[in-house]
Structure 1
Amino acid sequence: MDAVDVTRSRRFSVAPMMDWTDRHCRLFHRALTGRALLYTEMVTTGAVRFGPRERLLGFSPEEQPVAVQLGGSEPAELAEAARICEGFGYAEINLNVGCPSDRVQDGRFGACLMAEPVRVADGVAAMKAAVQVPVTVKCRIGIDDQDPELALDELADAVLAAGCDALIVHARKAWLKGLSPRENRDVPPLDYDRVFRLKARRPEAHISINGGIGSLAEAEALLRPRAGVALDGIMLGRAAYQNPELLLGVDAAIFGAAAPHEDARSAVESLFPAIADHLAAGGRLSNVTRHMLGLFPGQPGARAYRRLLSVEGPKAGAGLDVLRAALDLVRERGSLGAPAEAAA
Structure 2
Amino acid sequence: MTIAPLAISLGDPAGIAPEVIVEAWTQRKAQGLVPFFVVGGAAVLRAAAATLGIDLQVAAIASPGDAFDVFDTALPVLGGEDCVPSPGTPTLDGARLALHSLTLATQLAVSGAASAVVTGPIAKSKLAAIGFTQPGQTEFLADACGLAHDEAVMMLAGPSLRTVPLTVHEALAAVPGLVTRALIERKVRIVARALARDFGLAAPRIAVTGLNPHAGEDGRMGTEDRDVIAPAIAALRAEGLAVTGPHPADALFAAHERTRYDVALCMYHDQALIPIKTLDFDQGVNVTLGLPIVRTSPDHGTAFAIAGKREASAGAMIAAIRMAGECAARRTA
What's the TM-score once normalised by structure 1's chain length? 0.29
Higher relative contact order (CA 8 A, sep 6+): 2
- Higher helix proportion: 1
